[in-house]
Structure 1
Amino acid sequence: MSFTKLNFGTAGIPISTEDRNTENGIKKIKELGLGSMELEFVRSVNISKEKAPIINKIREENDVILTCHGQYFINLNAVENEKIVASKQRILNAARIANLCGAFSMTFHAAYYLNMEKPAVYKTVKENLKEIIETLKQENNKIWIRPETTGKETQFGNMQEILQLSQELDQIMPCIDFSHLHARYNGKFNTYEEFSQILEQVEKALGKKGLHNMHIHTAGIEYTAKGERNHLNLKDSDLNYKALCKAWKDFGIKGAVTCESPNIEEDALLLKKTYENS
């Protein structure tokens, strides 16, 4: 899938959707003037194989882009082998259904360091992701698999790790959560220059294709010295979303921005309006 613009949308079905289900959520996205919606498989893959093609048809009819967030219960660096096996299966199950729904991208929190050396953790995560991609290729599933930048230093997923995986493995691209990066480093990454630095890193590692095929998460965020605490509405947080939108505009990025604020569609519309006026 190639993009002509940056699309804004919600993490899950918009709150204002009546008769809340995925199909009506997609229609509501269109009605609101937004362009994307994220399928939230964070607890379980809650769409059946039979229902997925129906969702894809509604997505196409409403010209809405879909992304997917996989389950929280994933750790590709678990000590117990059965947990790694289960984690890989959860990623595959989400990727399969998301692909049938017409989603172009599936993201997840990849691993925890568990007090291990970072290079060793990287190697383990890479090996497990490689196996996942090999399985998807055998199934002719071309959905982008995107480890996400994470909000705590105890979690695998800094910019360097995510970009390196994207360079070294097929079908892997980053999901950049700007709020997580802001929280992970206790308030850093909150100026136009710092946001530009992140996008420059993407372009240096992945070229223009990295900027033109983006899956982004953004929300207001509360954090401590240990990192992310919880999501907030943008206007209740210190995230400099105006500077962030200007950086997106100036770098000409394309793809999908998923808003994860509690008031998902209100802040998605705020981001869209701010971006368009930047």
Structure 2
Amino acid sequence: MKKINELLFGSPGIPMSTQPRDTANGIAQCRKLGLDAMELEWVQSVNISKEKAPLIRKAAEDNNIVLTCHGQYYVNLSPVDATKLKPSMQRMIEAATRMHEVGGWSITWHTAFYLGRSKEETYEIVKKNFKTVMAELKDKGLTNVWLRPETTGKESQWGDLKECIRLSQDIEGVLPCVDFAHLHARYNGINNTTDEFRAIMTELEKELGREGLDNMHIQVCGINYGPKGEKNHLNLKDGDLRWKELVKVWDEFRIKGVVIDESPNIEEDALLLQKTWRSLTNTL
């Protein structure tokens, strides 16, 4: 895996200021803005062809931009309808393969739903099927991209912090994508104090060691939520997530990796987070 020696900040998709709006220009625009990463938004489908992948790879290399990816929403590794499993796994393999071709670093998915099963039963199903995906990629020699279960924003979704950590311990090449907004919304507003942020980071360090903290893929934004969890994303200043305290805790734990701000205003909040981080760490 590519080593990242600091904490980088990126936009969730093509920056709004990009003209004309395409992926290669979006990568170049991230560099012009002073960002160091960009998330490829493949939530509906993989929208970069195999033929176009070398162009995207070159754009990222020329602009020194790290590429992450949010994979397809239509993935569920524990479906009740068994006919839906293979398409989900194939979507993951397709996206991970294309990320390898564009020189990407990390890809994440909302991995599964409980659908009436117990947490333990769901975990074992997810683990088995995630291992199958990883094995097929390994057989193809595609092992240069981190595959990540994302911490999810509703308790009906598989993917609390402990589950994502456990999967990372059980499968080589897997680490969590820690979405702090989701961890805040999932439980109707907790995980929003310095002590709670420290507890999350302490658990990651205890269970995954420095490898976990030195290769973090983080998502964050303002978030609207209720008793059932996440409703929709908000800009940082429109939500109640104490993001300034969160950034300070990242500094305390000396983390490295990529932070993707998932706010609707795209690059604006990514730059705000980056500025806040740099003010704490005195980095340029």
TM-score range for the pair, normalised by the shorter chain length: over 0.9
Cα separation, 1, equivalents of 2:147 and 2:198: 24
Structure 2 CA distance for aligned equivalents of residues 104 and 3 of structure 1: 10
What displacement does 1:82 show?
A: 1.6
Counterpart for residue 253 of structure 2: 251
1:41-70 Cα distance to aligned partner (Å, 9 max, x none): 100100000111111111011000000111
Provide the rounded CA distance (Å) in 2 between the counterparts of 1:115 and 1:177. Answer: 24
- Tell me which amino acid in the other structure corresponds to 2:245: A
The ranges of structure 1 where at least 4 consecutive aligned residues each deviate by more than 4 angstroms after the TM superposition are: none
Distance 1:93 1:263 in 2: 29
1:124 is matched with 125
- CA distance in 1: counterparts of 2:244 and 2:20, whole angstroms: 34
The residue type equivalent to 2:68 in the other structure is: T
Task: Please give the residue correspondences for 1:135-174 in structure 2 after superposition, counting only pairs within 5 Å.
Answer: 135-142=136-143, 143-174=145-176
Residue equivalent to 2:219: 217
* 1:149 aligned partner, one-letter code: T
CA-CA distance at 1:79 after TM superposition: 1.1
2-structure distance, mates of 1:70, 1:82: 20
Structure 2, unmatched stretches of 5+, are none
- Trace 1:62-73 onto structure 2 (pairs within 5 A): 62-73=63-74
- Whole-Å separation in 1 of the counterparts to 2:234 and 2:88: 28
Q: Distance in 2 between matches of 1:165 and 1:208?
A: 17
- TM-score normalised over the length of structure 2: 0.97
Which 5+ residue runs of structure 1 have no aligned equivalent? Answer: none
Alpha-carbon distance, 1:192 to partner: 1.3
1:54 counterpart residue number: 55
Q: Which residue of 2 aligns with 1:190?
A: 192
Q: Secondary structure at the match of 1:170?
A: coil
C-alpha distance in structure 2 between counterparts of 1:178 and 1:41, whole Å: 21
Per-residue deviation, 1:85: 0.5
Give the secondary structure class of the aligned counterpart of 1:277. helix
Deviation at 1:196, TM superposition (A): 1.2
Q: 1:277 — aligned with what?
A: 279
Shift of 1:149: 0.1
Seq. identity, %: 53
Residue 193 of structure 1 and its aligned partner are, at CA, apart by 1.2
> CA shift at 1:115, angstroms?
1.5
Moved more, 121-130 or 198-207: 198-207
Alignment of 1:8 onto 2:9: yes
Q: Give CA deviations for 1:138-157 in whole Å, capped at 9, x if unaligned.
A: 11111111000000000000
Aligned residues: 278
Q: Secondary structure at the match of 1:25?
A: helix
Please state how far the C-alpha of 1:240 moved relative to its aligned partner.
Answer: 0.4
Give the residue type in structure 1 aligned to 2:158: F
